[in-house]
Amino acid sequence: MSNGAGTPNPRLEDLVKKIRKSECVLFVGSAIHAPPPDGSRFTYPEEVRPPLGPSLAKKLADKCDYEKMFPGESVTNLQRVSLCFETGQPQGRAILMDKLDEYLRQKKEPSAALKMLASLPFKIIVTTNYDQLLETGLGLFNKKPSVFVYSSKLNEPTPDLATDPTVERPLLFKMHGDLDHRDSIVITDEDYITFIQRMSDKDALHPVPQTVRYRMQRWWTLFVGYSLSDYNLRLLFRTLRWRVDPVDAPRTYSVDKRPDPLILKVWQDKMDLVTFVTQDIWTFLPWLYKEIHEKEYET
């Protein structure tokens, strides 16, 4: 498979080998819910798709008169819009969580792309999505994940697995919270500040389970559904790999059809921290599924 620029990417076959051996940590972002491109053999109707970040921000902005309060500002900044929504409602956080539940969970279904990912032999999965569509997808393949949810509470030991995760029972860490645990959700500017503060906690209190942090420093990593132009994501990645010598760092891959040119230049070309796979998920994941399972995904 090429890297999207018309030239072969020799590293992709190595990635496939690592995934087959279950020595790759999977990160799943909200763009896993992106619609298939025109002409695709796959379908994913809008009514069952959770809205992506900018669309979700616009929905919330419409409910709190954001444009009237902040004329000229972007209504797609989810962190700022959600903070405005939270502070402008009589019941604040509770109403914000109700809207997230309505927009992201009710009558929503996992896409074929998410199901393809769920079928692959990952033992550790990290997601910043609040919904349970990933859990639903894993269940379709008789997988029962051990789910850990981020907690903003200070001085509270972080739970972890007593035994190593397996393909049939992977560790799923919901890094930005879960809709069933409303106090765990990381969405506003203030939530992100607290989250970043917690990332400096000592080992026993660190919000990311030790199993995830240990494997992040030794296994390869695959980002799907993200843009590394997101400052918070890059900061998170660098924090989890903070003590790893770049020379010995495990490889990282990011599936991003249009990576930011400056990020690509710095993170791939200069520092060699990330290999960008410049394909959309609806091209890359069917290819990856076929490489692992040696058959086409049946819709």
> 134 and 15 in one domain?
yes
> 211 and 129 in one domain?
yes
Q: How many CA atoms lie within 13 A of 100 on its CB side?
A: 28
Our CA dihedral for 269, 272, 278, 280, rounded to 10 degrees, sits at -150
Question: Tell me, what amino acid is at 64?
Answer: C
The answer to whether 145 and 170 are in contact (CB under 8 A) is: yes
Domain membership flag for residue 252? yes
Residue 213: name the closest of 276, 124, 129 by CA: 124
> 161 and 116 in one domain?
yes
> 235 and 123 in one domain?
yes
pTM for this entry: 0.93
Q: How many whole angstroms separate alpha carbon 229 and alpha carbon 200? A: 22
> Concatenated DSSP letters for 268-282?
IIIS---EEE-S-HH
Residue 131: name the closest of 255, 29, 61, 63 by CA: 29
Task: Please give the C-alpha separations between residue 252 and each of 11, 25, 234, in angstroms, as whole numbers.
Answer: 10, 9, 12
Q: How many whole angstroms separate alpha carbon 37 and alpha carbon 214? A: 37
Query: Mean pLDDT, 10 residues at a time, over the chain (299 residues)?
Result: 52 94 97 95 97 96 92 94 89 92 96 98 97 98 97 86 96 96 95 89 88 93 91 78 72 93 91 91 97 94
> 65 and 166 in one domain?
no
Domain boundary among 104, 121, 138: 104
Domain boundary among 68, 85, 104: 104
What pLDDT is stored for residue 6 in this prediction?
42
> 173 and 246 in one domain?
yes
Angle at the Cα of 183 from the Cα atoms of 135 and 124, rounded to 5 degrees: 35
> 180 and 69 in one domain?
no
Domain count, the chain: 2
What pLDDT is stored for residue 5 in this prediction?
40
Q: How many whole angstroms separate alpha carbon 267 and alpha carbon 9? A: 17
Domain membership flag for residue 29? yes
Domain membership flag for residue 64? yes
Domain that holds residue 96: 51-104
Q: How many whole angstroms separate alpha carbon 45 and alpha carbon 222? A: 26
> 151 and 206 in one domain?
yes
Domain membership flag for residue 247? yes
The answer to whether 149 and 177 are in contact (CB under 8 A) is: yes
Indicate which CATH number applies to the domain containing 197: 3.40.50.1220
Q: How many whole angstroms separate alpha carbon 58 and alpha carbon 53? A: 9
> 280 and 216 in one domain?
yes
What pLDDT is stored for residue 138 in this prediction?
98
What pLDDT is stored for residue 237 in this prediction?
80
Both tokens of 145, joined, read 């994940």
